[in-house]
Structures are given as structure tokens and as C-alpha cells.
Structure 1
Amino acid sequence: MSRCGRMPNRRQAIAGAGTALMSALLPGGAHAGRATDNALLPKLTDGRHWRIGYAETMPYGNYAGTLASIVKGLDALSWLNGAARMPYDAGQSDSEALWRWLSARDLGPRIRFVADGWYGGLDQASAEPILQRLESGGDIDLMIVMGTIAGRKLALDRHAVPTLVFSTTNAVAAGIVAAVEHSGRNHVWAHVDPERYHRQIRIFHETFGFRRLGIAYENSPAGRAIASIADIEAMAGQLGYELVARHVQAPVGPDDQERYYADLAAAWGDLSRQVDAMYITFGRWSLERFPPLVRIFQERGIPTFSQLGPEEVAQGALMSVARSDFDGIGQFGASVIARLANGERLADMRQIYFDTPTIAWNLAVANRMGYRPAMSALLAADNIYTSLGTMP
């Protein structure tokens, strides 16, 4: 019998990570609702239009989803119009096609999406051409940046162009901003959810009561920030589990990707023999390569939790906790842009926003492991998957 299958005495009490538990984990007062403040509406006396650029770490559904929702938020605040016609489908990772559509259309007099202002692949590409363009101060008034790596590369004092960074693991630990509440810099702002990974691990631990938690990450300042290692270590102290880590160097380019997959498979295989739960931090694998990598934990009955979210649960992780959609963060991001355009300083704007978390389970993975989630767990879930993903 698998390790998960030997836990019937805990299932009824903890396997739900249900509504009551979720409510208990949410810090009061930090959730920003839909803005109705007149300060967010365009000032009629200000005829300036804002030329916006965009950069991302890599193609990723969270990035495209956040961008599309920011655009919808700006539409709702009357900063542009026509967002409802955007060619965006939930789950898509291609932001470049969306950007081409935005930049090719007249969406009103106040916002322009610069046609050649989209930049991708900063996980491996140099940011120097972008920085030189921003230093010149010529044709971009605001940069929207997605991801920890892109944020680290562009949120610099070499330029003074307002730079808003979204979808980072921990913007403070990554050095993008100096503090949680406010950035402390007039041209840099980052979305911060300081309790996001604390909530994830607490729910995972409440569900399985693990004693040895496995993680694998690149042991560099950037790698530790991307994986939010400080949060994982803090929770180990609070909850009393042992952290078992393996280090895997991130690929340095396309030609190094297969080496990375081999090293990751070896690290995960080693961990699967030593831990009773696995917390899968953000990595450089494609979703297509994820199912065979995670299979070792399924076969050995090790529960897995995806830091990323439902995308990896659909491909073979057992569970995750993440946002249900991007509407909330889109409205929050749009409000920051509106306040900036209306004359407020980025250094003074709050950075904290969290969505009510949602739970995802993969029942096919649970069945393969010999684990049967309690009905309360399934009733509390927002996403339930019933296949092991695309297995080659």
C-alpha cells in the first residue's frame, strides 16, 4: 500500500483543505475589490496618451492572462475601449499575438500599446536592448513586466520609465522592490502577495501531515527567489517538517535544456526515495515534459503540490492552490496604471493584493497513488482533473 493510502485516520479531518480552512488562512483587509474610486477615472483636462511596452520571462498562461485582464480593467475604468474584442482565450500562453492585436487598433486617445514594444524570452535573452531603449526615454512611457527574471532585469535604476512587475514568486526576495507595502522607488512597483506560499504549504501540510518535504531548485540568488525558498524555510520552522533539498542548475540556453531535464529527473528520483511529500517549485520545464518527470512520485505514492497551479495539476501533480481567474489582479493592475497616469507616485502606491485561493485536485493521480480524497475535499475543490496528463 502506498504512503498516501496509509493515512485513513487523517483523511476526514484534513483532506479537504476546505472552505473553513481557506477562510482561516486569508489575512483580513488585504483583498482589493473592484475599484469605484473617481480618482481612477481619466482626468478630463489631461490629454496625454500613455505609450506602453511589455516584457515577459517566457511564454506562460499567467502572463497572458494577467495582461488581458489589465486591459479589461483599463476598459472598465474608461482609459480605453474595445477590450471585449480581444483575441484571448483562457489558458493561452501567447501574449505576443494579443499584443499585436492591441497595438494595431485604436482603443481610444489615452492608451497606446507600442507595436514594437513587446519583448519575450528574457529567461535566456539579454535585456540590454530594452534597457538602452528605456534609458533614451524616447517612445515608451510605461513598461508592464511579467515574471521574476524579467523583473530583475528591467526594474533597474539605469532608467526612469515607470515599470510595473507582475506574476513574481517573491518580488522582495528577488530584489525587485525593497519592501512589501511600498516599493520605495518612484519608477518601480511590483504586485506582492506576501502570504501566498505560506498558504499553499499550510494547506498541503494540513492535508497530508508530512514530516519530510522535498524541493528542487537552482541554488543561486535568482533561483532561490523564484522558488520562494525563504517562505518554504519559514514554514518548515512553523510547522515542524524537515526540508530535503536538491539543487538543479537552470538551463543556460536552448542547447542546455536536455541536460537540465536529465538533472531534474535525477534529483526528483532521489527525492522520491527520501521524502513523504514533494513541493514542486517553479521550473524551466515545458508542460509537455512535466508528466513523465512527475510520474516517479505517483508510482511511489508521494503526494505532490504544484507551486505553479492548476496547469501542472492537469499534467500530473496531485494538488495545488491558486487563483481562479485573473479578473482581480487585472483590476488591481489597472488601478495602479490609472493612479500613475493621474499623477500619483508609484513609490506611494500599495503593492499588496491577493485573490481568494482555489483548490485543484487530480483524481487520476490520486487513484494511481492509492489515495482516496475525502468527499469534503472534492466539494471544496474548484478544479478537478481526471487524467494523468499527456504521457509520451
Structure 2
Amino acid sequence: MGRNGQSSVCPDPTANFQTVEMEMVNATQSFVRIAAAVVMLVCLSSPAMGEQRFSVGYLEAGPFWLFNEDMAAVNAYLDGQGWRDKVSFPEDAWLSPGWEEQEQWEPAARELMARDDLDLIIAAGTAATRALTAVNNQNTPILSISVGDPLAAGFVVSLEDSGIDNFTTRLEPDRYPRMFDMFHQVVEFEKLGLIYQDTESGRQYTNVDDARRVAERRGFEILEYDSLASESVEDCLAALRHLIQQGMDAFFIPSLNAFDWEQSDADQVLGYLRREGIATFARNGSRDVQAGALMGFSTVDFSQRGEFLARMIIRILEGVSPRSLNMVDAGTPKISFNLAVAHEIGFNPPFDLLAATDELYQDIVLPENRLVK
């Protein structure tokens, strides 16, 4: 009883604790719900949990449009297969020393080979491939792309075997002999001009050995200028003048910087050849044909090349030995021909050639991304 005779009820000492406990439970449940929502958002915006990510290094001696086209086609196929987000190209593992920095090519290759965080290294072009294979650690997989003839360059031992466990590439058997065969069959020239630097890579960029073999079989003469001091427009023009004085009536456009629209004023060289009435075959294909060469093999559609190379990348990243992969991409070459060039040099193309041509250009159109405009 209370002082006033009224009964009093003592408060339950556990009530406050129960209230606090309930509030803590509710807070905990709210936190769990929020945390679950955050985890769900992260999962939705990120690769699946447990999905492996791969780091790929890249080496080129210097920038070249063909490397860009091949890599764009590779990335397009990887994206279509859901692989693009699984593959990253670290900025500090994408190396391009520069064409004039030859002494830096091998150190750059050595830098990539020394890293232990790369699952694959892509070598773009002959020079980069030569640098990487020279310092090969025999462990990190190497995929060589955009090389004209890996077999002739000695990068592989045969069409079936690269000869190196961690190395592979893409091969197009007889692509370059076919070029010289096709060119002579169409134009029926007597003296074919070749210009190059007398180095292993220089001979590869002009396919000298292939030209010699086809010339012996088909009976035309080859005029060679192997004393290029550099790949500049000026030095190439001087070489061409020398060959024209020797009676050159056809010219094989090699992979030299003077003919690279993004590196030089290639129109100076192609325009000079047209004014001299020289028939030309472009080693690098469609872009040069559209821009002023007479003919070449089509290179407009890189999707097939990209698919072939991307499939190799996926297999390697899945753990397949590079040496065990098929290297032969047996595609059928397509013909590219420029009627405006034919008219300018006074060449009358046979009807069966025009009927078989896949890309027929009516005008000379220079590339939009050319260096000199």
C-alpha cells in the first residue's frame, strides 16, 4: 500500500531491457536488409562472383593502322562472346616505343616478360614479335598478330607447329605468293620493282623471297633497290626514280612508313607512281587501293581475322597451351581494284578481272585520318 492508502505497482525491471533488445533486433534486421541490398547492387553491376579476370599485355614497335584494325576486330568478337569484361589491358602493360626507337624494342619486351601479373602478351607486328621471342621467358603465353608471314620470318617451324610451347600466331599460307601471281597474271608486266632495307625485317615487309620464287616460275624480272637509308617519303621517292630509270613497269607497294597514311604523306609516293604510268599492287590492301594503288587483296572486313585471333585468346586464357592451337586461317583472298587509277596510268583491265573483283573503286579517295591533308 502507498502512503495514501493506494496500492502501488512496482515497474518490471526487465521491461526496459526487452524494449532495448527489440530495438536492437529491429536495427540489426534493418542493417542486414540494407547490407543485402548493397551486395545485390554490387553483384548486378560487377562480374559474377568468382568469375576470373585476365590481364593482357600488348607490344608494338610503333603505331600502325593494321594493328589498330586487328585489335578492334578482336575486341568486337570478345564483346560479342561476353568476354570483353573479363579481359583488361593495363595501361602500363600497353607498350609502343616508336618506330625510330629500335633500341627500346627489346627492353620493352623484357619489361613485359618480367611481369608476373600478365596472363597473355600480344605482339603486334614483325618487330614486336621478334623482340618478344628474343627474350621469351618460356612461360607467359605470347600471341603474335599482324605479321605478314610468320613462317618465312622464322617465328614458327611449320604450318602445324610453332615450335615454342608458349607461342602461337595466325598463318595465311601462300598469301604473298598469290599476290605476285595475281599481279603478273592481270598486268603482264616485265620488270617488277621492289624497295626495302636490307635487313631481315626489311625483306619481310617487301616479301622479297616470295617475289623471287614467283618471278622465276612466271618469267618476269625483278628490279631490287635494297639501299634504303630510311622509310621516309624522300628516300622512297629516290629509290623509285632509280628503278624507273632501270625500266620498271610495275611496283609492289611494301609495308613501309612512307606508304602509311597515318605516318607519312603517302599521296606523294602513289601520285608519283601514277604519273609515271606504273601499275601497283598494294601489300596492305583496300585502303591503299582506294587511295591510289591499282589493285590489291581486300582488307576491308577484319571480322574474320578478329574472330580467329579472339578465339585463340579465349582458348589460351582458358588454359590451353598456345602451341597446341591451330594456326592456319585458310580464308580465300578477295580482289580490290581501282578503275580511276587504271584510267590514269593507261591500263585497260580485262573483263574477267572486273567480274571477279570484290571491291571496285570508281574514284581515288584519300583516308580521312591521313597525316597530311
Q: Shorter-chain TM-score category?
A: 0.7 to 0.9
1:51: Cα distance to partner? 0.4
1:372: Cα distance to partner? 3.1
CA distance in 1, matches of 2:50, 2:314: 12
Q: Which amino acid aligns with 1:268?
A: L
Structure 1 match to 2:14: none
Structure 1 match to 2:249: 276
Cα-to-partner distance string for 1:142-168 (whole Å, 9 max, x where unaligned): 111211111111223442321111111
From the superposition, tell whether residues 353 and 250 of structure 1 become closer, same or farther in structure 2 (CA, over 3 Å).
Answer: farther
CA distance in 1, matches of 2:178, 2:359: 16
Structure 2 match to 1:208: 187
Structure 2 match to 1:148: 126
Structure 2 match to 1:320: 296
**Secondary structure at 1:127 match in 2:** helix
Q: Unaligned regions of 5+ residues in structure 1, if any?
A: 1-43, 81-106, 252-256
Structure 2 match to 1:188: 167
From the superposition, tell whether residues 135 and 371 of structure 1 become closer, same or farther in structure 2 (CA, over 3 Å).
Answer: closer
CA distance in 2, matches of 1:324, 1:355: 14
5 Å-filtered alignment, 1:64-143, equals 64-80=68-84, 107=85, 110-125=86-101, 126-143=104-121
Structure 2 match to 1:363: 339
CA distance in 2, matches of 1:151, 1:111: 21
Structure 2 match to 1:309: 285
Structure 1 match to 2:36: none
- TM-score by structure 1 length? 0.73
Mapped contact 1:316–1:362 kept (Cα < 8 A): yes
Larger Rg: 2
Aligned length: 314
From the superposition, tell whether residues 341 and 277 of structure 1 become closer, same or farther in structure 2 (CA, over 3 Å).
Answer: same
From the superposition, tell whether residues 130 and 385 of structure 1 become closer, same or farther in structure 2 (CA, over 3 Å).
Answer: farther
CA distance in 1, matches of 2:50, 2:322: 19
2:66 to 51, 62, 67: 62
CA distance in 2, matches of 1:355, 1:385: 26
Structure 2 match to 1:27: none
1:170 to 136, 149, 156: 149
1:344 to 312, 320, 323: 320
Considering only aligned residues, what root-mean-square deviation do their CA atoms show, in Å?
Answer: 2.5
1:310: Cα distance to partner? 1.6
CA distance in 2, matches of 1:48, 1:228: 42
Identity of aligned residues (%): 27
Cα-to-partner distance string for 1:52-102 (whole Å, 9 max, x where unaligned): 11122332222111111112222333323xxxxxxxxxxxxxxxxxxxxxx
Structure 1 match to 2:270: 294
Q: Which amino acid aligns with 2:92?
A: D
**Secondary structure at 1:66 match in 2:** helix
Mapped contact 1:189–1:347 kept (Cα < 8 A): yes
Structure 1 match to 2:201: 222
Cα-to-partner distance string for 1:220-249 (whole Å, 9 max, x where unaligned): 112112222121111112212111111143
Mapped contact 1:318–1:365 kept (Cα < 8 A): yes
**Secondary structure at 1:312 match in 2:** helix
CA distance in 2, matches of 1:305, 1:130: 34
